[in-house]
Amino acid sequence: MHCPFCPHEETQVLDSRVSEDGRAVRRRRRCEKCDKRFTTYERVELSMPTLVKKDGSRVEYSREKIISSMRLALRKRPVSSDALDEAIARLEERVISLGEKEIPSSRVGEMVMRELKKLDKVAYIRFASVYRSFEDIESFESALKELK
Protein backbone atom coordinates (compact mmCIF):
# COMPACT_ATOMS: atom_id res chain seq x y z
CA MET A 1 0.00 0.00 0.00
CA HIS A 2 1.45 3.35 -1.04
CA CYS A 3 1.32 6.21 1.45
CA PRO A 4 -1.02 8.97 0.19
CA PHE A 5 1.28 11.63 1.70
CA CYS A 6 4.62 10.45 0.34
CA PRO A 7 5.49 7.88 -2.34
CA HIS A 8 6.76 5.34 0.18
CA GLU A 9 5.52 1.77 -0.35
CA GLU A 10 5.87 0.40 3.17
CA THR A 11 2.96 0.97 5.55
CA GLN A 12 2.10 -0.76 8.78
CA VAL A 13 -1.45 -1.86 9.62
CA LEU A 14 -2.24 -0.58 13.12
CA ASP A 15 -5.84 -1.77 13.40
CA SER A 16 -8.33 -3.76 11.29
CA ARG A 17 -12.07 -3.82 11.86
CA VAL A 18 -15.08 -5.06 9.99
CA SER A 19 -17.42 -2.16 9.20
CA GLU A 20 -20.78 -1.96 10.95
CA ASP A 21 -22.65 -3.35 7.97
CA GLY A 22 -20.10 -6.15 7.52
CA ARG A 23 -19.46 -5.24 3.87
CA ALA A 24 -15.97 -3.78 4.26
CA VAL A 25 -12.79 -4.05 6.29
CA ARG A 26 -11.47 -0.77 7.69
CA ARG A 27 -7.71 -0.61 8.24
CA ARG A 28 -5.77 2.12 10.07
CA ARG A 29 -2.28 2.38 8.60
CA ARG A 30 0.94 4.24 9.37
CA CYS A 31 3.60 5.14 6.85
CA GLU A 32 7.00 3.85 7.93
CA LYS A 33 8.77 6.78 6.28
CA CYS A 34 6.75 9.95 7.08
CA ASP A 35 4.90 8.47 10.10
CA LYS A 36 1.50 9.83 8.93
CA ARG A 37 -1.64 7.80 9.51
CA PHE A 38 -4.48 7.07 7.13
CA THR A 39 -7.45 4.74 6.69
CA THR A 40 -8.10 2.27 3.89
CA TYR A 41 -11.20 0.17 3.15
CA GLU A 42 -11.40 -3.24 1.51
CA ARG A 43 -14.66 -4.02 -0.27
CA VAL A 44 -15.80 -6.87 -2.45
CA GLU A 45 -15.85 -5.69 -6.03
CA LEU A 46 -18.86 -6.93 -7.93
CA SER A 47 -19.74 -6.08 -11.47
CA MET A 48 -22.51 -3.52 -11.53
CA PRO A 49 -25.08 -3.45 -14.31
CA THR A 50 -24.90 -0.98 -17.16
CA LEU A 51 -27.35 1.90 -16.87
CA VAL A 52 -29.67 2.64 -19.78
CA LYS A 53 -30.47 6.35 -19.99
CA LYS A 54 -33.74 7.84 -21.28
CA ASP A 55 -32.21 8.49 -24.70
CA GLY A 56 -31.18 4.82 -25.00
CA SER A 57 -27.48 5.42 -24.44
CA ARG A 58 -25.64 3.17 -22.05
CA VAL A 59 -23.21 4.22 -19.32
CA GLU A 60 -21.22 2.38 -16.69
CA TYR A 61 -22.56 2.50 -13.13
CA SER A 62 -20.56 5.13 -11.22
CA ARG A 63 -20.41 4.91 -7.45
CA GLU A 64 -18.67 8.29 -7.41
CA LYS A 65 -21.52 9.93 -9.32
CA ILE A 66 -24.08 8.54 -6.86
CA ILE A 67 -22.00 9.71 -3.90
CA SER A 68 -21.48 13.21 -5.32
CA SER A 69 -25.17 13.69 -6.15
CA MET A 70 -26.26 12.49 -2.71
CA ARG A 71 -23.63 14.67 -1.01
CA LEU A 72 -24.85 17.67 -2.97
CA ALA A 73 -28.43 17.04 -1.82
CA LEU A 74 -27.20 16.53 1.77
CA ARG A 75 -25.00 19.63 1.77
CA LYS A 76 -25.25 21.48 5.11
CA ARG A 77 -27.66 18.87 6.46
CA PRO A 78 -27.10 16.98 9.74
CA VAL A 79 -26.34 13.58 8.21
CA SER A 80 -23.14 11.71 9.09
CA SER A 81 -20.75 10.25 6.54
CA ASP A 82 -21.39 6.82 8.04
CA ALA A 83 -25.13 7.17 7.44
CA LEU A 84 -24.44 8.16 3.82
CA ASP A 85 -22.06 5.20 3.37
CA GLU A 86 -24.70 2.83 4.73
CA ALA A 87 -27.34 4.28 2.40
CA ILE A 88 -25.06 3.82 -0.61
CA ALA A 89 -24.26 0.26 0.47
CA ARG A 90 -28.00 -0.53 0.68
CA LEU A 91 -28.59 1.02 -2.73
CA GLU A 92 -25.76 -0.96 -4.34
CA GLU A 93 -26.92 -4.16 -2.67
CA ARG A 94 -30.38 -3.58 -4.13
CA VAL A 95 -28.94 -2.90 -7.61
CA ILE A 96 -26.82 -6.06 -7.49
CA SER A 97 -29.69 -8.18 -6.18
CA LEU A 98 -31.70 -7.31 -9.29
CA GLY A 99 -29.35 -9.70 -11.10
CA GLU A 100 -29.64 -7.84 -14.39
CA LYS A 101 -26.88 -6.78 -16.79
CA GLU A 102 -28.69 -3.57 -17.73
CA ILE A 103 -31.15 -1.45 -15.79
CA PRO A 104 -32.81 1.89 -16.53
CA SER A 105 -30.99 4.83 -14.92
CA SER A 106 -34.40 6.06 -13.77
CA ARG A 107 -34.67 3.00 -11.53
CA VAL A 108 -31.39 3.90 -9.82
CA GLY A 109 -32.60 7.51 -9.48
CA GLU A 110 -35.73 6.29 -7.70
CA MET A 111 -33.59 4.16 -5.38
CA VAL A 112 -31.44 7.21 -4.58
CA MET A 113 -34.57 9.19 -3.75
CA ARG A 114 -35.80 6.40 -1.45
CA GLU A 115 -32.50 6.41 0.44
CA LEU A 116 -32.47 10.21 0.71
CA LYS A 117 -36.03 10.15 2.01
CA LYS A 118 -34.86 7.88 4.86
CA LEU A 119 -31.82 10.07 5.59
CA ASP A 120 -33.19 13.60 5.39
CA LYS A 121 -36.46 15.03 4.07
CA VAL A 122 -34.87 18.32 2.91
CA ALA A 123 -32.19 16.43 0.95
CA TYR A 124 -34.93 14.31 -0.60
CA ILE A 125 -36.80 17.40 -1.81
CA ARG A 126 -33.58 18.95 -3.14
CA PHE A 127 -32.75 15.84 -5.14
CA ALA A 128 -36.33 15.31 -6.30
CA SER A 129 -36.62 18.92 -7.52
CA VAL A 130 -33.67 18.40 -9.88
CA TYR A 131 -34.30 14.74 -10.72
CA ARG A 132 -37.99 15.19 -11.50
CA SER A 133 -37.46 18.64 -13.05
CA PHE A 134 -40.16 20.47 -11.11
CA GLU A 135 -41.54 23.09 -13.47
CA ASP A 136 -44.27 24.56 -11.32
CA ILE A 137 -45.42 24.93 -7.74
CA GLU A 138 -47.95 22.11 -8.08
CA SER A 139 -45.21 19.53 -8.80
CA PHE A 140 -43.27 20.78 -5.80
CA GLU A 141 -46.35 20.63 -3.58
CA SER A 142 -47.14 17.07 -4.65
CA ALA A 143 -43.59 16.01 -3.65
CA LEU A 144 -44.09 17.67 -0.27
CA LYS A 145 -47.40 15.87 0.17
CA GLU A 146 -45.60 12.55 -0.44
CA LEU A 147 -43.47 13.28 2.61
CA LYS A 148 -46.47 13.83 4.84
**Lowest pLDDT segment from 43-52, 70-79, 117-126:** 43-52
Q: What is the mean pLDDT of residues 65-85?
A: 93
Q: What are the residues whose beta carbons fall under 8 Å from the beta carbon of 136, sequence distance 6 or more?
A: none
What is the pLDDT at residue 80?
92
What is the pLDDT at residue 75?
93
Q: What are the residues whose beta carbons fall under 8 Å from the beta carbon of 130, sequence distance 6 or more?
A: none
Q: How confident is the model at residue 35 (pLDDT cuts 50, 70, 90)?
A: very high
pTM summary value: 0.64
Q: How confident is the model at residue 57 (pLDDT cuts 50, 70, 90)?
A: very high
- In order, the DSSP letters of 59-113 are E---HHHHHHHHHHHHTTSS--HHHHHHHHHHHHHHHHHT--SEEEHHHHHHHHH
Domain boundaries, the chain: 1-44, 46-147
The fraction of the chain above a pLDDT of 70, given in percent, is 91
